[in-house]
Structures are given as C-alpha cells and as structure tokens.
A and B are shown apart, each in its own frame.
Chain A
Amino acid sequence: MTQLHIKNGFVYDPLNRIDGEKMDILVRDGKIVDKLDGKRKRVIDASGMIVMPGGVDIHSHIAGPKVNSGRILRPEDHFKDVEVKTAKTRSGVGRSIPSTFTTGYRYARMGYTTVMDPAMPPLKARHTHEELNDTPIIDKASYPLLGDCWYVLEALRKGSVEECAAYVAWTMRATKGYVIKLVNPGGLEAWGFGGNVRDIDDPVPNFEITPREIVQGLCRVNQLLRMPHTIHVHTNNLGKPGNYATTLETMKCVENMANGDKPLIHVTHCQFSAFKGEDWRTFESGAEEIAKYVNNHSHVTTDMGQIVFTDTTTMTADGPFQYILYQLSGNKWVNSDVETETSTGIVPFTYKRSSFVHAIQWSIGLELALLIRDPWKIYLTTDHPNAGPFTYYPRIMSWLMSRRAREKLMKKMNTRARHKSLLPTIDREYTFYELAIATRAGQAKSLGLKQKGHLGLGADADIALYKIDPSSVDPSRKYRLVRRAFKNAAYTVKDGQIVVKNGEIVKSVNGRTFWVDVGTSASLMEIEPKLKKEFEDYYTVQYENYVVPEHHLAVSSPVSVKA
C-alpha cells in the first residue's frame, strides 16, 4: 500500500472548481482519498508549486502502422535526437516521431499521463496495440477509422442506422477502439480510385452517399451506442484555402440532432480546417467565423492543431490531402490504401516563420484558442506530429498565457502575414485555471474519462506538479518561466506512484489501454453471418484473425457502455 501526501501546493482542478487554492492532496492505492491510514506515507512538499491533474491529450499520433512508416521514412529525424539508456529508461530516438518508449517518457516528463492515438485503421489494430503496449507510463486509447469503411457506407446508404451501429459496436470490440473517428468522410474511399470529394454534399463514387450523410449517420450511431466521446471528425477539404465553409457546414449538419447541452461532434485540429481565401495567395484566417459559430452552439468541441515553426512530419489518414502536400513541398512521401477501410499519407514538412501561409496558419490556431471564449470547447494540441511535435506544448502554453510572448514571435515572422493576423487585436491571456481546462480537464471531460482530469475523491491519482509559484509569477511577463516549468514537471505521479522527479524518469510503469465494450441488445447482434461473408469477399484477412483478443493488450481497461 503506497500513500502520498502532497502538501501546500496551489491546486488547479477545474472539474471541481478549484482555482489555485492552497491545499493538500492525499493518495492511497492509486486513488485520490480524503484521509490516509497510519503514518507510513511519503510527503511531497509542494509549496510554491502548481498541482494539476495529469495532462490529457485528445489527439496525438503516437502509434500505429502509419507512425511506424513515418519512423522508417525519416532516419534524419532520429539522428537529431537520441536518448541514451539509463538505469530506469530504455534508449530511443526521434524528434518529430519518437520511438514508442521515448514517447511515453517525454509525455510523462511534461506531466501528461493520458494520450489518445487518433487514427487506427481497423485492419491494423493489432500492430497499433502492440506499439501502445510498448509506450510506457501513459494511459492511452485508439480511435478506429470508420468514416470510409465499406460496411459503414453500405449500411448508411440503405438508411439502416441500426445495422451500422451493430457493426460499429463489433468493430470497437474487435479492434479495442475507443472513439468513432472520421477522416475526410467519403474522400478516402474516393481516393482509392484517385479522386476526392469536393465538399460535404459531393457523393462518394460507387456508394451514392454524401459526406453529410456519413457524418449524420455516425453521429446517430454514436448516440445509439452511448459512446463516451462524440464522433471525432477530421473535416473534408482539410488543408485547402476556403475550407472554413465546409467546416461550418459539417458542424451545422448535426446541429438539430442535439439532445440538451451535450456535445455531438469534435472537430479536430481545427486550425487546418479554418482557412479562408480563394487560393494560397489570397489565403487568410477563417478563425473568426468558426469561433463565432462555436461560441453560439454547445454541440461542438474542437482542438487547436497549433502550428510550431519547426521541421516535422505530417501524417494523416487523409491520402488525398497528403498528396497535395507532397506536390507543394516536393519532399519524399508515403501513400497507402488500407483495403476497404481507409488510406494513409506521410510527408516530412518544415513550417517556416518567413512563409506567408505558415505564419497565417500559426496565427489561426491561436486566434481560435483565444476567440472561442469557453476553454471547455477548445483544447491544446498540435495534432502531433502534423503541426509540430508534442514536445513543443510548453511553448504553446506560453503563447496562450502571454500576449508579450506572441508579439515577440510575431515581430520575427512574415510581414504580410503579421499585418493580416487578428492576434494584435486580441488581449486575452489564459489563466492557469483556463490552461488546466485546455490541457487536462476539458479533454478528459470530452473523452468521457470520469477518473481522469480531476483531483476529486476516487479519481485516478494522476498528478502533475510544476515548479512555478502562481502567487508571485505573472505568466504574462515571465512566459519563459512558464515554458521551463511545464517542460519538465517537478513531479509526475501516475496511479499514485512517482514516475518523474525534476524532469527525470524515476520509475517506469505500464499504462492502461482503454477501449469501449458496447453491450448491445439482441436486435443489434445479427450481423455476424453477413460480416463473415464480407470478409470472404473483400478482405485479405480471415474474420477470426481480424479480432484483437483482450489478452493482446498489456493492461486492458474496458469502458462498458449500454446501447
């Protein structure tokens, strides 16, 4: 039995409305408790430190065949960043696409304890889980890509939401997935034949169904199955000028399905979906329009997908978009088609301060985060590694918390972009409370992880301590201190065990893998014979071999829902 007493820290726990109060946190057996037994306990003096729940990342490509292809594609990326083995940690390499072990360690060092891998081709689930098993410390889950799956498209075309729901429920169990993920719905299927969909009402070739119907259909399925998170959508036309209109249409198309104030749709890495203008020359920010819509509606949540000016690797399931990026950059690339399910593309990319388009993109991410008033609706991500490696989060935090930090960078970026940016007109600066929402509480709430993102009684004892004193440090002026503090957590506690001390890993533990176990009623279960036929006709894998057994996960943690 391990007991921890974290004393006198400034606690930020937005889910329990605790805003920088000086208080103690007690931990027993990996849970937050209200009192400890006996005297055997470890005391951490947290005076002058911030205490927050462990960080939660809703969208970060950390595992799977695509990530691994990215690793193979980029030896020059590993070369720049090598981590040597220590007594507690394994060696590793990689700057924008770190190896699995290094990914776990680096997240833990920043005080993050839960990370979601957002794009798993269902067929490649086994590989994805094998990589997740080798990603230590952090808890994780994976989102199966379902927006272009033949079975889903076929069922929705017939208008049979129940059949689609049965299939989705089966896929969640078979692939040990957590969230329904849609990437460029319909577009990836079209890409299999060298095409794409132009907008949300452009029918998918061979299926006579529009992206709008796919989004609405899967949103309905999500409601039917009572999934913990909403549908997680990477919009059509992502990365193209003028796509903010498509994004707004996507948000609007599920507007009237709302049931109370519950969110229905998560538009991910929103920065890439908020482009205005006719082409790259007239490119501008559509953040204002998106923010206005999100401010006025409660059914949407988003995350930033914030650009960082650095060399990184873009990787998405959006094959057609990656092809455009390859043509723009002329870099080496990888493209692949996953049978009847999805596609993939990978292109190394460098975001430059001097580039007009990149500088505007940088501005869009921050405009979104600052113009959307409610921090429960927009979360901090870089869509790692697409807009920048996750190791840059502390830098983004400082931009959110300090106007001065933003202005300092803006002085060095493309002049035309600087004049077009809305940022100089925005005074808002995040407080530590808001930052805690954007980096942990909001994301945990959105994901439906009841044990995460807060420090209330019974929560998992995932705690991050940062060496910065909010009573004496003004984050707006001392943004460098903020960066330094959030880069290396003073302590990271995972399930009641101290894993990081002063930015160094002191213990490596295994994190859980969450997946959704949908308890379906009998009427939803009659798709098995049809599925078997589907596998015989279309798949290279047998039905029996497709399913990932539960013992394949190092630490399985099913989340049961009742459809």
Chain B
Amino acid sequence: MPMMMLKGNESTAYAAKLARVKVVPAYPITPSTVFPEKVSELIANGEMDAEFLPVESEHSALSAAIGAAATGVRTMTATASQGLAFMHEVLYIASGMRLPIVMAIGNRALAAPVNIWADQQDTMAERDSGWIHFYAETNQEALDLTIIAFKVAENENVLLPALMGMDAFVLTHTMEPVNVPEQKDVDAFLGEKKINYPVLDPQKPATFGAFVFPEHYMEFKYSQHIAMEHAKKVIDESFDQFYMKFKRKYSKVSGFMVEDADVILVTMGSMTGTARETVRKLREKGEKVGLVKITVFRPFPREEILEITKNADIIAVVDRNISPGFAGAIFTEIAASYSNVKDKPRILDFILGLGGRDVKIENYEEIYERAKKAKSGKFEEVQWIDVDEKSVKEVEGSL
C-alpha cells in the first residue's frame, strides 16, 4: 500500500476514486474547494471514471447528487459552512428519499462574522437532518471514514446519506502521510454498488419523494429513525470488516487512558490529537485523566458513551460549537444520554477553538484544572476557554 503526502481534501478525493464514485456534482467553497479540484484532475487524467458536474450552487450540487443517486450510482460531493447551510433543505430531502450519498465537509465557522477557519458549527446545525455523521481526527481517518461511509450508507438496512467532517485547514489543507489502500482491496471491501432501492428507470416509472398526508408522514419519519438505529450495528460491523482488511481500527467512541480516570475529556475531530498529548503529559505527573474521542455523532453512540465514562467523576466535554442560550452540541447529547442514569458523573461543557482559534495544550490543562475543581464546590456548567471575557463584558455587560 503506497504512502502518499495528502491534504485532507485530497484524502477524500482519493477515497472517491477508490470507491469508484460515478457522479460528483460540486460547487467550490473554502475550505473544501480542493476536493472538486482534485476529483476533476483525477477524471481529466483518466485515473477516475466519473462524471464531474460543475453546478451553480451548493443547493444545486446536492440536488444533482440526489438525481444521480436516484439512478443507483455511487455519488459524492463536498462542501463547508455557508455551502452546507445553503444545502439545508436538500439535506432533508436526500435523507427522506433514503439515498446513500456521501459528502465530505471541511468543518468551518458560520458567518457572521465571516470566518473561514475550523469550527464544527456547520455540521452541528445539521444534526437533525437524518444524515449519518462521521468525524476524522487525521487525514488517514478522512480517507478511511469516507470509504466506510459508503459501506454503511448503502447497507440495505440503512440507506441513509452520510457526511464525513474534517476540520478546516487543520486537516483540509495540511499534508500528512496517508496510507492509500490498493484499489483491489477497496473493491473487495465495498463490493459492487448494489441496486437495493428503487431507482429512476423509464421502463418502471415511479414517484420519488412523494407528497404525503398527515395520515402517513409520521410513519415515514419513524422508518427513517429506525434506519438510523440500524446504522449503529452496521457501523460496528463495517468498522470490523475494515479492520480485517486494512488493519486500521475504528470505533464510534474510543478511549485513551480512561480505565482509572477521574476526569475524562471528550473531543471530536482534529482537536483530539492535542488532547491526547495533554493527557499523556498530565499522566506523567500522576494525574488521573483520560480521553474519549467521538468518531460517530449520528446515530449518537449513547450506549458506548455511558459505558466508557461510567467510572469517571467528571466528564469534561470540549465543544467546538455553541448553541447560544444553552451549551455545545456534544455536551447536550452526553447530558441527555445520562438523563435516566441514577449515579452519574458531573458533566461539564468547555467551549473551545471557535472560528479556528488555536487549540493548545495549555487550553486542555486549564480545562483539566477547572474540571478537577468542579469535583467539589461551586462550578459553572458551561465555560468558555481562551476567550477575552473582559472586552466582551465591556460591550454586553456582565451576567
């Protein structure tokens, strides 16, 4: 298997090629522009056999992907931030029509203020759109998870679209050594694209995404929900099969030094690497701290989270997003997962790294110190890290 120096966007482009994607409709937006560039280059060089559709907007990109996927071919696109927000209504159509489209996202902040850097607000805003969510920590993961996303999305018990998020620039534009699998191995892993759902066929006319009265709408939403629940098992099986073939192990949540940890940090995406390094450093000083990385956010791995964090005193969730007026999305999910558990750890939320602000070891050390203090005495449930509170309070007033 060749090692290549790839940017995150190139990793997902190679994943598209290796998955033998047949249609790529895309509209460029920073930081995911390199994906359509690389895909069109691969097609122009004759390395990839696919149709590239340069459409006029992200809304059209996903609409075209729906049309392509409805013919039964493997379809992929990519976007970020405002582009994803512009796709919003089409995301629900793709999932409601149960089309296994895969989309790579360069996770980026939403305007205003305009900002093109790393932030997971864009995909968190699409939490309820019925898409499966994967998040990569590295460019290797970006490639692998994109290939796995096809396997999961196309499973006949799932048939849902999947997105794969990677942080803007930290992954999308940073070169890392990536082990690019052999074509024959990916072929063996994914298999030929099966036509396991009704497809557009002039010989068999049908209505797709039909109008539905109140008498039936709930049943369609319920069936989507069941499919998402099925995806939990299918994701586990696909991760296992991927490991058998490629010897790279994935799981919906993975722990690092969690066994005896009093404080467990929870992260998602590229910021996990820095957190792991911090945990290693703190462990050398004898601190009982661990780390949980979330790789799959939808379906939410509730059972795995409860299991892996159950012995901790404090769960310190780190959110690179904020729902103004409440908390970050991951905190919300974890707190809700614990809602019917009797003895639970104290769960705290730390907002960090919005709009591409550097995520540093010092930040995690501060989070750890604050979390440890919260074990006894007063604490704030949601805390902002590395933010100039003084300047903000001069304008907005104090709470």
| A and B associate | no
Q: Which B residues lie at the A interface, using CB under 8 A?
A: none
